[in-house]
Structure 1
């Protein structure tokens, strides 16, 4: 983390050298923004009509749909996939849980083959209760559903996983819903059996444990936790488990990249394996950050997008001066931020124009809004807008997204999402008080799209934004509607209509996440 604060260039705003208390949450040097005073933008070959005009307060013309733009590849669509196989009772689950614990990665999914047994008919269930049904052949598992589930997770879709009851020998009515995965651990006796799964795996592990030890562990598990009796467990072992282990499971050892003898007792092998996985994840994060850095290479003029910027007048100049002044008391800071957030929300409502007249006895009695509005806050920066949006729409549905940068790599990661149901065909107001690199906002928009929103129905509301972060968002999502309170410039000598003060991306107010710290008093 860098703690260098860059002073703004000559400006009409009251901006002072910050105190040390505002060092909180400074954008790291290895962040994907890489903002420097001399950064330049390479224009695309897009044609901009010569007679296109631009107002001082907004641009609302449609984005040039004929110009190709990069697509965002969220990290959860490129998960690191680990397969762990071995005989029943070999210690596969323990090693999988050890990996989850040591990696401490958000959105790590442990996908157990135990959830994917085929539903049984009444006759098969009767055989199962008599310990006469073979659960240890590949045919007893729904391998097609396993493949479908992993593919769905790789595409970033919300994925439903069945829940199987070993006590009742059938699938239950319950399901597990998962959205997004940075790491997927596939654990089961046949994890390394199907070639389709093997092709998707980045690391294949086989846990090689003596069959006598496997039997002892299996007896303990089945008797204590699955309600089985000793005679039935031994019968099942001798009739089905052991023969299938020799015939089907043991040969999958040759598909493994790494064989761990003795399971969890092999501490050295497990530590080496975890270090290897950590290195691969760091490399994956580095590649994702490099990809984010390329998003600003080609741009179109900002006037070709659905962008609105608050007008520069005495009111907005005065509010900006107060919010930029480090001597401002917290109570005043909250008051004036609420004022400007109201202006930003009102400007955002200009993108919503689906109204119908109210008629009473064929007499006009005004207009009513047809569209349903949902407010989504990027925690906790976007929470600064919540008081204002609730005053504007008292009964608005509110969702939350927690997106933070990894402390080691700087890669943005989705830690939590709480999205209201049925947000398709609704207007989404997405709130973030500051856009620096644009990575969090890009990820947030992608999450909304994955939940069925349309790009044109998203209204991103932000108080401070760097030009670099804005261009990255528009390059990936050209049809998103954006409202900004104050926009800086990448270059040093720019003097755009929206930035007569010549604020730069590298200036302190735009470079550091300070708004939510002051708003909530946690600096």
Structure 2
């Protein structure tokens, strides 16, 4: 299991944590969403142990792919110079709901719940300011949200599948807060106590504690292992009910293509498949058949094999390019004549390679589209269920940024060469 954590400075360590050993598919074979992510809201007083509970749930869910922890602390509003000065003087109330950008909070959480990409803001307590950088997150089976006010807002509460409140004695919370703020946020003891009495305790009494009535389960601050175990078992049961079970459907698609034996059979079979899964077959010209013959020849030397793989990939990408949107365009030639032709109106075009599958097609893509941005995905089967798991993603900027992704076109590269059988598949999808 790998982890990614915001580490801009010591004060941002808890803001956003991603732990995953692979993401289960959240779309079916037709691209329709299967289910939303399972969202857990964990509330409680400041320093009550919410973060500990969240991380303990992640630890006990080690066998569950894709768990994201999102902290309320990431969503403090931008502060102007006057507000920053008040914060350094311990005169700014960070515990009131008005200090949070609850609309952005709900939008980011809604995106994660619906298995969409989102950009989580990063807040620095040592600078008392939201930073320019963001933490990019994409897709999760489980989203854990923790913060003192995560159960206060009705819109946030509507997004939770399970609501947890961590109950803790006020004296213990104050002692923990002093230790944390002095060690991690560079504050002095007197300032911490003054802020606690002026802002933290009133907010707890007026907003945090009343929100406990919305909780499905209330956990003690200590010896809560049994309660956490109940929570994790409940999550496992709910995820089991949402199991995609895509393996059988994918095997059906494989069987549909596996019986193909000759080029003519390929064309007939793929024509039928196209009606169901949208396959367009590369024209089986003499040139293409000649490349197939060379690649299948066991006496083919390495240099020739690489050359003709690149040639085939170029032909395939050129065919895929014809599926891109074009429109009429008039230009003036070098001799002053007007020529009516075609040009693409795509704002952003990029490629994404399926690692260990689409590498042979990258060179062809770069030959057809000069300087195209190429990202990557790594998909591997789960050892126990054989269901596909997304293990890694490195997506181009035009896909990562929501406002650009809506109009972006992505060429997904994948290939399969099987010398033991009589068919060969090279896949290039425009999406």
TM-score by length of 2: 0.70
Which secondary structure state, in structure 2, belongs to the residue aligned with residue 175 of structure 1?
A: strand
Contact 2:121–2:133 (CA under 8 A) maintained in structure 1: yes
Cα RMSD, aligned residues only:
4.4
Match of 1:244 among 185, 197, 203: 203
Aligned to 2:224: 266
CA distance in 2, matches of 1:332, 1:448: 42
Cα separation, partners in 2 of 1:369 and 1:87, compared to 1, 3 Å: same
CA distance in 1, matches of 2:373, 2:42: 42
Which secondary structure state, in structure 2, belongs to the residue aligned with residue 147 of structure 1?
A: helix
Aligned to 2:394: 418
Which has the higher relative contact order, 1 or 2, with Cα contacts under 8 A spaced 6 or more apart? 1
Deviation of 1:225 after TM superposition, in Å, equals 0.9
Aligned to 1:360: 334
Deviation of 1:226 after TM superposition, in Å, equals 0.8
Aligned to 2:355: 379
CA distance in 1, matches of 2:335, 2:177: 77
Gap runs ≥5 in structure 2: 1-27, 255-270
Contact 2:352–2:411 (CA under 8 A) maintained in structure 1: no
Cα separation, partners in 2 of 1:124 and 1:211, compared to 1, 3 Å: same
Aligned to 1:151: 110
Match of 2:192 among 224, 233, 243: 233
Superposed counterparts of 1:458-497, under 5 Å? 463=415
The reply on whether 1:390 has 2:363 as its aligned counterpart is no
Cα separation, partners in 2 of 1:347 and 1:196, compared to 1, 3 Å: closer
Cα separation, partners in 2 of 1:328 and 1:185, compared to 1, 3 Å: farther
CA distance in 1, matches of 2:179, 2:41: 25
- Count the aligned residue pairs: 378
Aligned to 2:56: 98
Match of 1:341 among 295, 313, 318: 313
Contact 2:39–2:161 (CA under 8 A) maintained in structure 1: yes
Contact 2:359–2:413 (CA under 8 A) maintained in structure 1: no
Deviation of 1:287 after TM superposition, in Å, equals 6.5
Aligned to 1:128: 87
Cα separation, partners in 2 of 1:508 and 1:208, compared to 1, 3 Å: farther
Contact 1:106–1:414 (CA under 8 A) maintained in structure 2: no
The reply on whether 1:275 has 2:233 as its aligned counterpart is yes
The reply on whether 1:79 has 2:37 as its aligned counterpart is yes
Cα separation, partners in 2 of 1:126 and 1:365, compared to 1, 3 Å: closer
TM-score by length of 1: 0.59
Deviation of 1:323 after TM superposition, in Å, equals 5.3
Which secondary structure state, in structure 2, belongs to the residue aligned with residue 162 of structure 1?
A: strand
The reply on whether 1:109 has 2:85 as its aligned counterpart is no
Describe the superposition over 1:49-82 as per-residue Cα deviations: whole angstroms up to 9, x where unpaired.
xxxxxxxxxxxxxxxxxxxxx762166xx11111
CA distance in 2, matches of 1:449, 1:316: 40
Deviation of 1:218 after TM superposition, in Å, equals 0.8
